[in-house]
A and B are shown apart, each in its own frame.
Chain A
Amino acid sequence: MNRYGLKEKIELRINHATHHIEVDVRDTLLDALRDQLGLTGTKRGCDMGECGACTVLMDGKPINSCMLLAVDVMGRNIMTIEGLAQDELHPIQQAFVENGAVQCGFCTPGMILTAKAFLDHCSNPTDDDVRQAISGNLCRCTGYRKIVEAILDAASRLRRGKRHV
């Protein structure tokens, strides 16, 4: 059993690296990522789990980082948008750029991570599958059409990539 007071030193596993940071027990994972670790690619759109802009992957699943306390995610594997591209853009990122799926860009990191988790499990989705998967990521600019097209395009890029390996 562990007890934590106002300020605590915690260990977080983010993008395959281990970080030791001091957090306020009230800090959410989102606060810790942005304010302590400078990982500002994760966006704060509502801070209430309603918009999906703060989506990160926890053990491979998309979650709202604003609705989890930082002290509550110790021992979990977190992936943020900064951890997605390796030497070059990930095929999902490439597809977003080329299909015009990015306008203001504020929903984009969360949208891409949701798409990543989704395509990890579903390699040949339909339009409706994609819409179900991203239904927790609000976008106000695009009307979603080009985002859905980008994710479908990314799926086919990933399928092609797999075949070559």
Chain B
Amino acid sequence: MKTFEYITPETIDEALELLGEGAQILAGGTDLLGEMKRGLATPKRLINLKGIQGLADIRSIPDGFLTIGSLATLSHLAEHPLVAQHYPLLIEALQRTASPQIRNIATVGGNLCQRPRCWYYRHSAFPCIRKHGEGCFAMGGQDRYHAIFGGHRCFIVHPSDLAPALMALDAEVRIAHADDSRIVPLTDFFVGPRDSLTQENILTRQEILTAIRIPVPPDNAYGTYLKVSERKATDFALASVAVSIAWLDTQVTHARVVLGGVAPVPWRVKQVEEMLIGDELSGKRIERACERAVDDATPLRHNRYKVALVKGLLRKALHAAHRSREKGEK
């Protein structure tokens, strides 16, 4: 690891001033330190945000949003009473994230900003395009963990469990900049390889992600996060699905379906959401939704199984939603 200057600002403004060429933000550090140990990240300056008051707070605010400071740890979020009350889907996602030890350090902001886990990207022997190198080694190589959607010259998958879950809850992120701050829907936060081959989100070098806001879910909403991984713990998703559904009587009035582990960004399948709204969740409709979800899948040589996984997971999630509504009726 190359040495660096380590700074602990006490306010966001101080932190923003410290940003610049060679500077990197340290939050939980569970991803960044790994990248530094591997020589993938070589910051000259490390700006630790932990000293900034309030940045780790989780609050419900009068306008109906839950606001999560970007420095809140994953375990803090998972244990928060408001989360248990309104967003059980988040708890399902958090329980499947990394390990208990990592969840006690890793932050919500860091989780959304984590770098790809692609083994070519992480490996020193492969100078891939995401490291300003020469191409994608997964193409024609060992691609079983790679993207079946949205790949383009690069086939990473977004590794987060939390991101699809937050996206299914219509979360927004607050981004601080020296001049002004902005609030962006999480859907617009992530950046695929068509837009950038070197970064995975819209943050510029002058910006800091400070908070995540989640609206109160609609009435009668049901949410679930399902994940398949090879190991039952401390493993990234081969595929995952976050679903949030609401009803009026038997009619679906609101639907969010977001896939994880299958695309360079958390993959929202709007065409499925649209076809679910306005109708009952019948078995037939669920089957059609599953087919529809993988309509535009373009699997690589060894990851066709992910197509089947997405269908299987979505089927399970929608059936669970349907059962929960029926239970609610009784």
Direct contact of A and B (CB under 8 A): yes
- Count the A-B residue pairs with Cβ separation under 8 angstroms: how many? 89
Please name all residues of chain B whose beta carbon is closer than 8 Å to the beta carbon of A50 when the two chains form the complex. 234
Contact (Cβ within 8 A) B29 A69:
yes
A135 within 8 A of B: yes
B1 at the interface (CB under 8 A from A): yes
CB of A61 within 8 A of CB of B104, answer: yes
Q: Which range holds the interface residue count of chain B?
A: 20 to 34
Q: A1-B14, A67-B29, A68-B29 are in contact. Are A55 and B7 (CB under 8 A)?
A: no
Smallest beta-carbon distance B195→chain A, Å: 30
Q: Which of B4, B14, B104 contacts A58 (CB 8 A)?
A: B104
User: Contacts A48-B37, A67-B34, A69-B33 given: A26-B1 contact, CB under 8 Å?
Assistant: yes
For A6, list chain B residues within 8 Å (CB): 3
**How near does chain B come to A73, taking the closest CB pair, in angstroms?**
10
Instruction: Give the residues in chain A near B4, CB-CB below 8 Å.
Output: 25-26
Contact surface of A with B, Cβ cutoff 8 Å: 1-6, 24-26, 28, 47-50, 52, 55, 58, 61-64, 67-69, 71-72, 114, 132-133, 135-137
Would A62 and B34 count as touching, CB distance under 8 A? no
The reply to whether B8 and A52 form a contact with Cβ atoms under 8 Å apart is no
| Residue with the highest number of chain A CB atoms closer than 10 Å, among B3, B6, B98, B100 | B100
Q: How far is the CA of A107 from the CA of B36 in the complex (A)?
A: 25
Determine if B210 is an interface residue (Cβ-Cβ < 8 Å): no
B30 touches A67 (CB 8 A): yes
Cross-chain contact A2 with B7 (CB below 8 angstroms): yes
A2-B8, A49-B34, A52-B101 known; 15 new pairs, CB 8 Å cut-off, are: A1-B51, A2-B7, A28-B33, A48-B37, A49-B101, A63-B105, A64-B99, A64-B105, A67-B33, A68-B29, A69-B33, A114-B100, A135-B99, A135-B234, A136-B234
Closest chain-B Cβ to A80's Cβ sits at a distance in Å of 14
**Least distance between B98 CB and chain A CB atoms (Å):** 8
A–B complex contacts, Cβ < 8 Å, 15 sampled: A1-B8, A4-B5, A25-B6, A49-B34, A50-B234, A62-B100, A62-B104, A64-B101, A68-B29, A72-B29, A72-B48, A133-B100, A135-B100, A135-B232, A136-B100
